[in-house]
Structure 1
Amino acid sequence: MADASTLKVYHLPGAWGLPTVSPFCLKLDAWLRMTGIAHEAITASTPFAGPKGKAPWIELDGQKLGDSTFIVAHLAARFGVDPDAHLTPAQRGTAVAIQRLIDENLYWTMVHDRWMNEANWRQFRDVVLGGLSVPARRLLGPVARRGVKKQLAGHGMGIHTAAEIATIGRRDVNALAAILGDQEWFFGAEPSSTDAIVYAQLVNIWRAPLESEVRRAIGQTPNLVAFLDRFAARYY
């Protein structure tokens, strides 16, 4: 097992049986479990201490590094690990496309459901800001929500209606189900980084007790539900 006794990994709080409610933080956590790199996991109340003002981030060799994708690439080189070594060039290309679908599209449907749906927000607020005092939560909550609304609009997802966003999310889920098919993992018999990425995003929707058409879509794809159970059993 690779050793990284000086590696510190900062992530957002957990809930719903998950170590963190951030798909990007959970992606890194899953990848670290997959590769066996030893580390200290630290829960951060807010992401603002990170070098990019977002979570996750790491401290290693006296430096801070942010963004889960750059962190994974750095750690893979630093510790000489590659859970994607068995992939063909074509599969590596498909892996990038799957990650873009998740990071740049499906993720934002989840953000909309968590932050813009009033009933969901009342539940999620106390989860994502649960590490803060009640006065700080009351002060920061509306500010954070306005910021997320601007991010959604800037991305483009926020200009759509809730029904349109649900349609986008359902299409993404169905695409992932079609790619997985009857395989155990997204590229066959052995797991890869793509499985960690897909797991981290889908399980954050599936486990959250929030109103979501996308969550219902996952429930209607038995192969994805089985995949989530299989990944959790192997690594968690």
Structure 2
Amino acid sequence: MLTLLTYPSAFGLFSASPFCVKTALMLQTSGQRWQRSDLLDPRKMPHQKLPVLRTPQRLIPDSDLIRDWLEAQGSDFDHGLSDLQKAQSRALIRLAEEHLYFQIVQDRWANDEVWPILYKTFFTGIPALIRKPVANSIRKNVVKGLGFQGVSRFSDAERKDRLERDLEAISAYLWQSTYLMGETPTSVDMSVAPMLAAMRATPANTPLTQRIKQDKLLSDYIDRMEQAIPLS
């Protein structure tokens, strides 16, 4: 049996990480037998991050590499799509994973309103004596990484403008069909929907969570995906 090494469930989602949710969705539709194993510290993993798929032969890091492996075993997450649709799918996946994701990280880790909740959610396993300095050090490194990536260098208004353009692009597809590439979920939905769900699930009433909750088109899409591919 395959084992998905994943961050634990949080905020009502299969995992706090949309990349872990993406991988779980792929596994659920692959026909492979699999189980989850929760981790909070990925430092011993191949890329020092999650998700990681444990197969009988080896550990496979990264959701894209896991997808490649599953497809090599016979899965087809884009069945019936044209070459143009597959290219559009690839572009939307990059939009979600290289831009929307960092909006989520900014909204959670750099937000003083959300941080106390993250602290209680993710760091309880650390001994009390060192918990606060370890947690603060990790937070500092995450926020520093947002500066390197660039999202934290923009003002709130600039970030909102960039986000709106992405959400408008996603919405343009959803006005045309039930899912992004048609009437059944494909690989792009398994990337985009978890990102939107993570935005909506952040445990504070931030402008980002409000933006998704108040958008019926996007919220209904998140709900449809959760119903179409349920994760236990």
TM range (shorter): over 0.9
Instruction: State the match for 1:146 in structure 2.
Output: 140
Gap change, CA 1:202 and 1:135, over 3 Å in 2: farther
Q: Name whichever of 211-220 and 175-184 sits farther off.
A: 211-220
> Are 1:70 and 2:74 an aligned pair?
no
Instruction: State the match for 1:210 in structure 2.
Output: 204
Tell whether the 8 Å contact from 1:174 to 1:221 is kept in structure 2 after alignment.
Answer: no
Gap change, CA 1:128 and 1:20, over 3 Å in 2: same
Instruction: State the match for 1:48 in structure 2.
Output: 43
Gap change, CA 1:144 and 1:33, over 3 Å in 2: same
Tell whether the 8 Å contact from 1:113 to 1:211 is kept in structure 2 after alignment.
Answer: no
Alignment partners' CA distance in 1, 2:214 and 2:43: 37
Aligned length, in residue pairs:
230
Which residue identity lines up with residue 169 of structure 1 in the other structure? L
Q: Name whichever of 176-185 and 17-26 sits farther off.
A: 176-185
Q: Deviations over 1:65-121 (max 9, x none)?
A: 2111111111221x2111212110000000111011111111101100100010111
Gap change, CA 1:40 and 1:133, over 3 Å in 2: farther
User: Secondary structure, in 3 states, of the residue corresponding to 1:199?
Assistant: helix
Gap change, CA 1:186 and 1:40, over 3 Å in 2: same
Q: Deviations over 1:3-49 (max 9, x none)?
A: xx1x1110112112212000111110111112232112000022212
Q: Name whichever of 161-170 and 180-189 sits farther off.
A: 161-170
Q: Deviations over 1:166-190 (max 9, x none)?
A: 3322332222112211411111112
Tell whether the 8 Å contact from 1:170 to 1:217 is kept in structure 2 after alignment.
Answer: no
Tell whether the 8 Å contact from 2:7 to 2:15 is kept in structure 1 after alignment.
Answer: yes
Gap change, CA 1:74 and 1:147, over 3 Å in 2: same
Mapping of residues 1-236 of structure 1, within 5 Å: 5=1, 7-77=2-72, 79-236=73-230
User: Secondary structure, in 3 states, of the residue corresponding to 2:113?
Assistant: helix
Gap change, CA 1:235 and 1:132, over 3 Å in 2: farther
Gap change, CA 1:59 and 1:191, over 3 Å in 2: same
Tell whether the 8 Å contact from 2:93 to 2:188 is kept in structure 1 after alignment.
Answer: yes
Gap change, CA 1:131 and 1:164, over 3 Å in 2: farther
Q: What is the TM-score when the length of structure 1 is the normalising length?
A: 0.91
Q: Name whichever of 129-138 and 30-39 sits farther off.
A: 129-138
Tell whether the 8 Å contact from 1:27 to 1:200 is kept in structure 2 after alignment.
Answer: yes
Tell whether the 8 Å contact from 2:47 to 2:61 is kept in structure 1 after alignment.
Answer: yes
| Aligned-residue CA RMSD (Å) | 1.6
Tell whether the 8 Å contact from 1:14 to 1:21 is kept in structure 2 after alignment.
Answer: yes
Which residue identity lines up with residue 72 of structure 1 in the other structure? R
Q: Name whichever of 176-185 and 205-214 sits farther off.
A: 205-214
Which residue identity lines up with residue 65 of structure 2 in the other structure? F
Q: Name whichever of 95-104 and 166-175 sits farther off.
A: 166-175
**CA apart distance, 1:208:** 2.3
Which residue identity lines up with residue 202 of structure 2 in the other structure? A
Tell whether the 8 Å contact from 2:101 to 2:195 is kept in structure 1 after alignment.
Answer: yes
Tell whether the 8 Å contact from 2:108 to 2:202 is kept in structure 1 after alignment.
Answer: no
Q: What is the TM-score when the length of structure 2 is the normalising length?
A: 0.92
